[in-house]
A and B are shown apart, each in its own frame.
Chain A
Amino acid sequence: MTTKTRVPAIDGWFTLDEQAPTLLGSKCTSCGNIAFPKETFFCRNPQCQGKEFAETPLSRTGKIWSYTDACYQPPKPYEAADPYVPFALVAVELAAEQMVVMGQVVPGVGVNDLSVGTEVELVLDTLYEDDEHEYMVWKWRPTGARIGQGA
């Protein structure tokens, strides 16, 4: 098996730390508002005039706010595997940031393995690949599940 270069599917949204990746948000230097993806122009807090932001890693774990799955192949620009493999999605509450962040669930974990309130952690996984690259994205995995294991 040839080794492909792993590159992020989008630049600057998460770290490439394979063991403990984090999403990268912004923190307004004036009011402390946190945003994901990063705010770059103007703070979205209407009471704040802030225009400067520090990059801030978001919590690696959170609790499921809600969940679903994609039984049918999503249209482009989603790059689906052939044949298509359904996947689950979650909206995850991050306690420290007081916000909800979405993402896919790792392969092999379906809606029957999920419930509201379940703890999940952030991992990196392949979104799609071409001849030279694996394009990486963040996904969520129940902390009760083992790395790389199917359900």
Chain B
Amino acid sequence: MANDKKVAVLGAGMHPWGKWGRNFVEYGLAAAGDALAEAGVAWTDVQYVSGADTIRNGYPGFVAGATFAQALGWTGARVSSSYAACASGAQAINNARAQILAGLCDVALVVGADTTPKGFFTPVGGDRKDDPDWLRFHLMGATNPTYFALYARRRMELFGATEEDFAAVKVKNARHGLENPYARYRKEVTAEEVLSSPMVADPLRLLEICATSDGGAALVLCSMEYAKKHAGSQDLVTIDAVSTVTPRFPQAIIEMPNFSTDSSVAASSVGPTFKQSVAMAAYEEAGIGPEDVSLAEVYDLSSALELDWYEDIGLCKQGEAERLLRDGDTTIGGRIPVNASGGLSSFGEAIPAQAIAQVCELVWQLRGQATGRQVEGARVGITANQGLFGHGSSVIVSR
């Protein structure tokens, strides 16, 4: 099936992840500057600025598109700011893509950046007894790792996953991230170190749970016509699909920040789960299937969650993720490397930047520029991501 909904990626840029404690705008500008330089596009030629919002940096974070545009110098470009929890970056990519595909602009800049506090993510302040995110902390002390651990334990029960499997995911991703200049943690870890790190939410340990990080990522996107004029006949990296679908009722798997699932009394729960449907919609839009994919960047908020993603994005059948991992299929050099960047395990999560960073990694991988972590011959990559309140995303990139 021919896909006439492609946009080209001219440039990608990132600010290294870390705990720098500086203004998030600084990271966004550094990433934007790198992406524009890589694209060979002047800021004054950008027609649309798409910002991914951060909710932990006051008003400038809520209007990130305008914040970055002002910092780069007002040019009268169209602008938008997007918030979609962990999928904010993909939402910002999708907004830019839609503008380009609608013919409303030729070239767009997508930027997301965050500065994060230490420790558990906490709800927005105040006394808000009508906000489930506030209430789950107040009434149950349920943090994000609580939910990750429920899924991990379920995996152990259903599929015989072991703590050693979960540790092996961390060991693999730490090794993948060693040479990534943008990763925050660039240190090899052993399974023994993982398994002796403190338990946080049984069965998940400290080294298996994604940290919160500062960071910034940016992309320069444009129409295929603009790209051909601008970049000539060279192989273009394109975004072929962006999926941001909602779950379907009744949602039978407990999700952050909820107290319960939907009930299946009035309508039965059939068909794919939410995470499966996010990836399926992307494949359908791109006109490809999991067998066409060379590599994947998935949201390893916990080590165990990466295994769920193998199945949800169709790399294997349900219950086979542990075998895929143990066989080395998802390690660089294997059949379908997952998180060649090092994943969230090596980065920590910088929420509005993370889904953009996943695409940056795929762009560099497909161009053969991922020094020290290159997946040889990569032609098609997929990202997968999920956040709170029913936001998730999947992006397919090809060359």
Contacts and interface: CB of A to CB of B under 8 A. Distances in A.
Interface of A: 9-10, 28, 31-37, 44-48, 65-72, 74-80, 87, 89, 91, 97-104, 111, 116, 127, 137
Contacts of B202: 68-69, 71, 111
Shortest beta-carbon contacts, A-B, top 8: A68-B149, A74-B141, A33-B266, A98-B264, A34-B263, A77-B138, A99-B263, A66-B150
A37 B259 contact: yes
Contacts of B265: 32-34, 97-99
Contacts of A80: 141
Interface of B: 119-120, 122-123, 127, 129, 132, 134-135, 137-143, 146, 149-154, 157, 198-204, 249-250, 252, 254, 258-267
B259 A77 contact: no
Nearest to A103: B140
Contacts of B149: 68-69
Given A66-B150, A67-B150, A33 B263 contact: yes
A69 B152 CA distance: 12
A103 B152 CA distance: 17
A71 B154 contact: no
Q: Quick one: which of B120, B123, B266 has the most chain A CB within 10 A?
A: B266
A78 B252 CA distance: 27
Nearest to B157: A116
A68 B153 contact: yes
B212 to A, nearest CB: 12
Contacts of A76: 122, 137
B154 A66 contact: yes
A89 B256 CA distance: 14
A67 B129 CA distance: 25
Contact of B157 (A36, A44, A66, A69): A66
Contacts of B263: 33-35, 97-99
A70 B122 contact: no
A10 B135 contact: yes
Given A102-B259, A137-B139, A91 B119 contact: no
B140 A102 contact: yes
A46 B251 CA distance: 12
B201 A44 contact: no
A63 B135 CA distance: 24
